[in-house]
Amino acid sequence: MPTVVLMDVSLSMTRPVSLDGSEEFQRKNLAVHGLNMLFEHMASNYRLEFTALMAFSSLWELLVPFNRDYNALQDALSNLEDYDKTCIESALHGVSNVVQQEWGSACPCQVVLVTDGSLGIGKGSLRHSLQNLKQRGDDKKFPLPFPFPTKMYIMCIANAEELQMTDAMENLEELLRLSGGDGQIFTVDGPLCMKTVQAMFGSLIDYAYSPFHAVLHCGNLSSDVQVFPRPEPVVMDEEVEPIPRTVNTDLEIVGFIEIADISSPPVISRHLVLPIAVNKDVDEVGTGTTDELEEEPSASQMAGKSPNFCVLLHGSLKVEGMVALVQLGPEWYGMLYSQADSKKKSNLMMSLFEPGSEPLPWLGKISHLGPISEAAENPYGEDDSKSPFPVQPQVKRSYAQNVTVWIKASGLQTDVQKILRNARKLPDKTQTFYKELNRLRKAALAFGFWELLKGVAELLERECTLLPDSAHPDAAFQLSHAAHQLKLASSGDSQYAAFEHNIQPMHTDFSS
């Protein structure tokens, strides 16, 4: 997940901060100190993160485009210049342009906005921008929400008391809400100084940039790994009381399956799995030459020269053309597989399925899968000419049955007209008439559509009065009987409104 750091370089950031027993610092100096701390952490623990640095006042400027060279980012911070007033809206337009040019609109991005809480003055200020949101045309829309998924973190080089003296906090909270609400506002706890700013950026690191370390198990083998980016908690919407589900730090491989059988399954996220180095010569992610750092470090680079199960697993999956099913938590699974970036380079990836015991319907329940050796006969055949998948369901699916569904009014009108056409051809179409009538009756009862039953009954009574003199006598009896049965069903009486009950033709002296 790439990161854009948006640094406020307006004049208000040059306000001095008195520190006891030392020289005066500007708020900009405190912000630079905090960002250096963030970049040093990312260089050690988030080396694969692409990061860009932008500066803004009334205009914006891209200082460092997306890359993994954290030395270049820190050098740019040390050469920041001071400009004029604050215009956050203009800066957000810049973020939108930069991210879409590099990543498009599908890639999620994190935005770290570093400011002192000053909203700007007059036209172009954040206060003015938010007050005029509803009066804007389509050509001057506010940049939030971004067209891509966003997490915004607002780092205020000010304490909460200072922000609450004006409406700054309210406006920043509204800004966060417009971005999607998936983020947080961080303020300095206590007086402004290096220590409190450092603590604030430490909170950001713990919240958004802490590495996810786990142990990958397969039988008696195991390996310490880092999952990048950090898996986000998943909330299932269909649960009565949704509780965020998190990935366990113990990842258990439960089996292996051929790529052809799992095909291209739906996943909620994809992650890079990196073995953690165990030898002392390799002490950080991606050790190697500068050219190597432009790409993701390979598994062998990450693990050093010591034997590592993660490297063995990666090579095996790549050679055998298989994937490993891994358990992420209670009734939650994913898969490990090798993905090639180029002809010479591939990575061990992990995709997360939707939580549940049956995330891929064609495989059935994951817990019901087992080794081929336990099967009575080889499910793939002696010459691999067949496959046990997809698993056939024991119960016929509802969408495979003849179910009446009315999505549009025209569909309901067609079914009613079909009944009336058959009614006019009674008694020749008696069986077809009652078949269509019972189909409509069941659908109306299932939907609780009592008015439909009353309406069709009235239509049948009308058809009975319009019968010509030459009509067969049985037609009038059948129409009156059907209308009476529909009226009884519409009353809701359990004796006549049973779903399983069918209206049978009336036996008359004219019936054959």
Residues 345 and 222 in one domain: yes
Residues 114 and 221 in one domain: no
- Determine, yes or no, domain membership for 418: yes
Alpha-carbon distance 464 to 415, whole Å? 19
Residues 339 and 368 in one domain: yes
Q: For residue 245, what is the DSSP state?
A: B
**Domain that includes residue 272, residue range:** 212-234+247-279+305-394
- Determine, yes or no, domain membership for 399: no
Q: How many domains does the chain have?
A: 3
Reading the block at residue 185, the tokens are 């506002």
Angle at which helix 27-45 crosses helix 70-78, to 10 degrees, equals 170
Residues 73 and 176 in one domain: yes
Rounded to an integer, the average pLDDT of 1-26 is 85
Highest mean pLDDT among 117-121, 352-356, 495-499: 352-356
Alpha-carbon distance 415 to 440, whole Å? 7
Alpha-carbon distance 13 to 117, whole Å? 9
- Determine, yes or no, domain membership for 295: no
Q: 15 near 29, Cβ under 8 Å?
A: no
- Determine, yes or no, domain membership for 509: no
Residues 219 and 345 in one domain: yes
User: pTM, whole model, 2 decimals?
Assistant: 0.68
Longest C-alpha distance within the chain, in Å? 114
Q: 95 near 71, Cβ under 8 Å?
A: no
As a whole number of Å, the CA-based R_g of the chain is 34
CATH number of the domain encompassing residue 201: 3.40.50.410
Alpha-carbon distance 427 to 420, whole Å? 13
Binned at pLDDT 50, 70 and 90, residue 285 comes out as very low
- Determine, yes or no, domain membership for 462: yes
Q: 171 near 126, Cβ under 8 Å?
A: yes
Q: Which of 338, 362, 394 is the last residue of a domain?
A: 394
Rounded to an integer, the average pLDDT of 105-125 is 90
Residues 29 and 104 in one domain: yes
**Segment 158-170, tens digit of pLDDT:** 988 888 888 899 9
Residues 275 and 154 in one domain: no
Alpha-carbon distance 509 to 495, whole Å? 27
Q: Which of 336, 366, 394 is the last residue of a domain?
A: 394
- Determine, yes or no, domain membership for 504: no
Residues 50 and 167 in one domain: yes
Binned at pLDDT 50, 70 and 90, residue 284 comes out as very low
- Determine, yes or no, domain membership for 507: no
Residues 205 and 217 in one domain: no
CATH number of the domain encompassing residue 382: 2.40.290
**Segment 377-387, tens digit of pLDDT:** 888 887 777 88
Residues 181 and 224 in one domain: no
Residues 197 and 218 in one domain: no
Binned at pLDDT 50, 70 and 90, residue 315 comes out as very high
- Determine, yes or no, domain membership for 290: no
* 3-state SS assignment for residue 51: strand
Residues 226 and 200 in one domain: no
